[in-house]
Structure 1
Amino acid sequence: MFIYLSNFPYLMFWGYVLFVLFFDIELALAQFQIDGLQNPPRVNSLSLSRATAREYYLGAGDTINIDILGVPEFSGRYDVLSDGSISLPLIGRMVIAGLTIPEAINEITAQYRVVMKNPVISVRVAFPRPINVGVIGEVNRPGTYTIRLTPGVGANPSAQYPTVTQAIKLAEGITQAANLQDIEVHRSHRSGEIEKIRLNLWDFLHKGKLNQDIILQDGDTIIIPTLTEIDLIEARSLALTSFSPETDVPRSVAVIGEVNRPGPYVLVGGNTTTALRTLGLPTVTRAIQLAGGIKPKANIREIKIRRLTRSGTERYITVNLWALLDEGDLKQDTILQDGDTVIIPTATEVSSPELIELADVNFAPDTIQVYVVGEVRGERASRIEVPPQTTLNQALLASGSFGYDNVRVRRGSIKLIRLNLNGTVSSRSISVDLSQGLNEETNPQLRNNDIIVVDRNLLTQISDGVELLVRPITQASSVLNFLGLLDNLFNIINPEN
């Protein structure tokens, strides 16, 4: 017992040393873990141009956990107020905005060292504040966006920070003039240095390089430049990415040139002639459908799309819809974006076989107008609407001019008057044979605004001529009869005369 009591001071001394060493080691490990989380290594990638992860700086809106070892009544969760301060027990108001986690630990430890001996303190961000990022350039709604962070999964989830593509989606997606290969993210550091991180989202899309879709930090700015030249294949790929606008989002476009109803239209993905929200893409051919279809003079080999960029310049895309019809080249039917203008030029020459083929395409008009004049029923000039591939015989029967109850019509031939593509007018007589199929000689395919002149037969011409000669005599006889009637009336009123 005496030996135990005599060694007691030594035991107390070495126990205290071991206690201090234990907690110093624990504090060092905690600091190491915090530094490891807050200071990840630099990204050694050429495509990212030495991108570095900036340390997290505390600020207004953060919620932090402060743990003081052995003093649970002073530990707890604290909100960083709008002035960047927190209120601590025994300490009061303390500004921590702009500090990193290690710096905050040192500052809080220094404050508590005044009121307690060797305080061991740890700080952890429980709920980080929303971050602000800028998205400018070739996106549909450039500007600054506040992104609220969401917790991850697991028992102790960390906040999930947004990536570049997620921020682009908040800006309503890229335009089709976006250059995905030269995107820059500008990141400012506390030293005042602005780091430029170069990204290639094209590699992310086509090669699966996930490191190109980097995680954003507060204050980052994404800059998406404009393409110098727009490629049809790339444009279609861009329009179908997850960070492009949805295809059923309405977009305002204009269609001008050789269409039946040129003007502005609201284009939506789907079947534009029946429903607005069915399967389909808002392409050039759908815009032409809205504009009433192409005219016979349309040059579908050299259609131009005028596209405005965010920099205020214009880009022109050439579309060859004949390659779509002839070769099935779907990239020619490119997807339009808001503000596009579709320009359909006039063809200098169109062959008859091409006209026949174009009449059957889905972006041709649903009907054409044909005029049947002469020996028609009802009005002197009858305008009828028929499908684009209608032949002469079909139009004659549709007008009712060649019914067997119409005894005045000449059934052997008609005259076809046509406005040609070069601006001239042609007129030719065509022998009518209702049993003939489609052929250019006796039963040609009609074009919009063709005029069919149906003449009178010989008997009708003779009877009409006789009527024309007799009509003056009949009219003179009627006048004499009228004068005689007046004379009789006058004698009845004045019998003495």
Structure 2
Amino acid sequence: MRSHRHMDTRWWRWLAGGMAGAQIVAGLGLSPAGMAMDGWVAQQISSPTRYVLGAGDRLNVEFFNIPEYTDQYQVLSDGTLHLPQAGTIAVEGLTLDQATQAITARYAQVLRRPIISLNLLQARPVTVAIAGEISRPGSYTLAAASPDSPSTLTQVLQQAGGVTQSADVRRIQIRRVSDRTLGTESVTINLWDLIQAGDIRQDLTLRDGDSIVIPTATTVNPEESRRLAAANFAADATQPIQVAVVGEVNRPGPHTLRLNTNLTSSNDGLEALTVSQAIRVAGGITQLADIRDIQVRRVTHTGQEQVIPVDFWELLMAGNLQQDLPLQNGDTIVVPTATALTSAELAELASASFAADSMTVYVVGEVSAPGAIALPPSTSLNQAILAAGGFNNRARRSRVELVRLNPDGTILQESIDVDLSETLNAADNPSLRPGDTVLVGRSGLASFSDTLGLLLSPVTGVASLLRLLGL
């Protein structure tokens, strides 16, 4: 048989095309590797030989040297083909090779050494069920794009809205009816190998009736979550999601997140809705926020709650984008209250992209424009006084009172020596917090003048009355 391996390429092309190459090569005892792999022949031998036929498949049945029998046939609803001279032949559940053998065996009864080839022209729609950590579980019908491009696992995941962030893509189960035992077989698919190593074998071709189960991950890895969110079979980031943000944010409560290219442009190119975006939509963190211990609470499809820790101090100081966890619909973000923050930490928080754009403080008393003032976060005491127009002529310029409402409901009141030339420091020029009140009192001279005016007001009142009466 070795001489056949060196036959002219044109002979192989004719043999493979006009005489159903896969059939004849097998008959000659050759493997496809011995063939000249030009594009057309490669396309023929790379067809989905493991495809299982069923009702609705459209086939081309070619009879060598009998053109009147060659035609296109469709598998009927009972799983059979109706062929000339041979009648009805059951092909449901058979691969193309098995069906070719069955048809050849039937025609061997009426023809002398029949040579028959079978090609799939149009695959039937594939109906599968999907459950677990998927955006829209249920039953789906997929139409194959072409005979050489059957429906795959990632295609149905995309149609079902993508896997959730709680999905364990390393242990996806596909259950199908066995061709041999008619029982159910199960295979485990690792789509993480597809993401990491491009292992296309993990993108399994689906069959009609397959069931797909996506389990819940026992733990959530922030780095892997970002990679999963970028996969084409992850949940669609262009769809809005509902989340809740509670704790030390300026507008706690439920919020709707929508993808914003301006927000994602600095997010390592990741098109996903993340914790930092949720905090910004909630008005930003307050100056009491403990960003080291933020939690994302997530309910899985089984009803269990996952608690995922997030350290935004690591994001702020080291630029660790892995801490900016992608979110999914229904997540709750909890921003706890810090027990103690230094002035340096307050300054860092105020400059963060997820901090509030402004805060409201109150400067009252002897300033030019007393009242509520909107200022950037962590504005110093001196800056707040200047923003209120500065001291007026009656002000006591050496000392002011700072009144602060603490988170536990207590009130802090302290006297601060003022020097408008001081830089930011905790003693003489502290950072203010939202809701702080700065009270600027009267100078000693202004107080004396006011008191004197109060004491003399009855006398001046009597004198005015006497003058009015002409006495």
Distance 1:57 1:435, change over 3 A: closer
Q: CA separation in 2, counterparts of 1:248 and 1:278?
A: 17
Which deviates more from structure 2 when the two are superposed, residues 336-345 or residues 439-448?
Answer: 439-448
Write out aligned runs for 1:90-489 (5 A): 96=90, 98=92, 100=94, 102=98, 106=102, 122-151=117-146, 158-190=147-179, 191-270=181-260, 281-377=272-368, 382-402=371-391, 406-420=392-406, 423-472=409-458
| CA deviation vs aligned residue, 1:405-435 (integer Å, no higher than 9, x gap) | x322222322122234554322222232222
CA distances 1:137-185 after superposition (whole Å, capped 9, x unpaired): 112222222222123xxxxxx4212332333222222212111222211
CA displacement, residues 337-396 of structure 1 (integer Å, 9 cap, x when unaligned): 222110111223333332232222222211111101112446xx5000111132112111
The equivalent position to 2:56 in structure 1, one of 57, 61, 78, is: 61
Asked if 2 retains the 8 angstrom alpha-carbon contact of 1:68 and 1:122, the reply is: yes
* CA gap 1:28/1:425 in 2 versus in 1, 3 angstroms: closer
- The answer as to whether partners of 1:268 and 1:277 remain within 8 angstroms in 2 is no
8 Å contact kept, 1:270–1:278: no
CA RMSD of aligned residues (A): 3.8
Partners of 2:318 and 2:20 lie apart in 1 by 72
- Per the TM alignment, residue 298 of structure 1 is displaced from its structure 2 partner at its CA by 1.6
Q: Within 2, Cα distance between the matches of 1:210 and 1:258?
A: 45
Bigger CA radius of gyration: 1
1:188 Cα shift?
0.8
Structure 1 SS opposite 2:356: coil
Q: 1:91 to 1:259 in 2, by over 3 A?
A: same
| CA deviations over 1:296-330 (Å, ceiling 9, x no partner) | 22221211110111122111101122222333333
Contact 2:343 2:431 in 1 (8 A): no
Equivalent-residue separation in structure 2 for 1:59 and 1:341 (angstroms): 47
How far is the alpha carbon of 1:439 from its aligned partner? Answer: 2.4
**Contact 2:361–2:436 (Cα < 8 Å) also in 1:** yes
- 2:292 aligned counterpart, secondary structure: coil
Corresponding residue SS for 1:439: coil
Question: CA distance change for structure 1 residues 72 and 478 in 2, over 3 Å: closer, same or farther?
Answer: farther
**Alignment length (residue pairs):** 429
Quick check: 1:59–1:96 contact (8 Å CA) kept in 2? no
What is the Cα deviation at residue 55 of structure 1? 5.8
SS of 2:170's equivalent?
Answer: helix
Instruction: List alignment gaps of at least 5 residues for structure 1.
Output: 1-25, 37-52, 152-157, 486-497
Distance 1:225 1:278, change over 3 A: closer
Q: Which runs of 5+ in 2 are unaligned?
A: 1-18, 30-47
Given that 1:417 and 1:427 are in contact with CA atoms closer than 8 Å, whether structure 2 keeps it comes out as yes
The residue number in structure 2 matching 1:9 is none
Against the structure 1 CA distance between its residues 70 and 339, is the aligned structure 2 distance closer, same or farther, given a 3 Å change threshold?
A: same
Q: Is the 8 A contact 1:105 1:122 kept in 2?
A: no
SS in 2 for 1:180: coil
The 8 Å contact of residues 86 and 106 in structure 2, kept in 1 or not, is answered as: no
TM-score scaled by length of structure 2: 0.78
* Corresponding letter in the other structure for 2:288: K
- Aligned equivalents of 1:238, 1:99: Cα separation in 2: 35
